Amino acid sequence: MLQNWRVITDLGLGVLRARGADAGAFLQGQLSNDTTRLQPGQLQWSGYHNPQGRVIALLRLTPLAADDLLALMPAELVPVVVARLQRYVLRAKVRISDDSAQWQILGYPGTAPQLPGGALALPCGSSRQLVLLATPGGAPEAGADHGTGIEATAVPGTRLDWVACDIAEGLPQVYLSTSEAFVAQMLNLDVIGGIAFDKGCYTGQEIIARAHYRGQVKRRMQRFVTAAATTLTPGQTVKLPDGRACRIVEAAQRPDGRCEFLGVAPLTSVAEPQTGATDAVVNASALDLPYVLPGG
């Protein structure tokens, strides 16, 4: 991982677009956050869940207009989410589409440089910015300059550099390998502002609300680092030194080969039943998160 990167041009993200008079209202009934609170120039965390409250995908929403919303997520999940949402459109005046090819998404560690017309600069995490550049044919504004020269002189980073920042900030991600694996609170969505408990109904709300009000969340995403060179991948299940089973949410190797990762595990050491498969034991120690976990 680079320590002085200035731009990342391949973040592995795609774009879902919801357009139409009912776009906001439609997503309000599907996602865990309150779309009425969306603000231009900002990203809003939200979860898309199945009826059991398990996260299908994590979305970062931003409005182009009141009836035109973009949602960023891993590119591999965009077709899945588009197809699932389209089942529920019915008579709603909204069009759900995969607009990934219409946008280039760049990442900056801090304020982005001067941007061409039509670009969107969106705060991400504690200090980073995501920049969306409309490609020809997909511009929100006719005649805008869509050149990508803004990163020409910058030190390029990699997707791994971006992931490392997400891990340090305790920000989860969901991929095909982990889609529908975690209940919302297991990924700390209630802590990072991805759930509005005062909004109307949405898919999975009953399970998510019950876990919140009854304090039933015993497994949460935590941050760890391995003691030796290790390779871990999202979706993999390992055993921590104290016997806790841990499912990997996100992982990034440090320059010395050790792996820093976010994983969902019990908050306290408990005796867990043996399964048919034996998970590999990973010698890892806990690292602080930049927020406090309920019940931790």
Nearest to 55 by CA among 224, 153, 195, 168: 195
Element (H, E) at 84: helix 78-86
pTM for the full model? Answer: 0.91
CATH superfamily to which 13-168 belongs: Aminomethyltransferase beta-barrel domains (3.30.70.1400)
Ranges of each domain in the chain? 13-168, 218-296
**Tokens found for residue 251:** 């992982």
Strands of 13-19's sheet in order across: 44-49, 55-65, 68-74, 13-19, 95-98
Give per-residue pLDDT as tens, 170-197: 999 999 999 999 999 999 999 999 999 9
Select the more confidently predicted residue: 41 or 141. 41
Strands of 120-124's sheet in order across: 103-108, 128-134, 120-124
What is the largest distance, in Å, between two alpha-carbon atoms of the chain? 63
- 160 pLDDT above the threshold of 90: yes
- 148 pLDDT above the threshold of 70: no
Q: What is the pLDDT of residue 24?
A: 96
**Tokens found for residue 147:** 């050149």
Element (H, E) at 229: strand 219-229
Backbone phi, psi, residue 19, to 5°? -125, 145
Do residues 121 and 92 lie in contact, with contact meaning Cβ atoms separated by under 8 Å? no
Spatial distance between the Cα atoms of 279 and 246, rounded to a whole number of angstroms? 9
Mean pLDDT to the nearest integer, 14-39? 97
Give per-residue pLDDT as tens, 199-230: 989 999 999 999 988 877 899 999 999 999 99
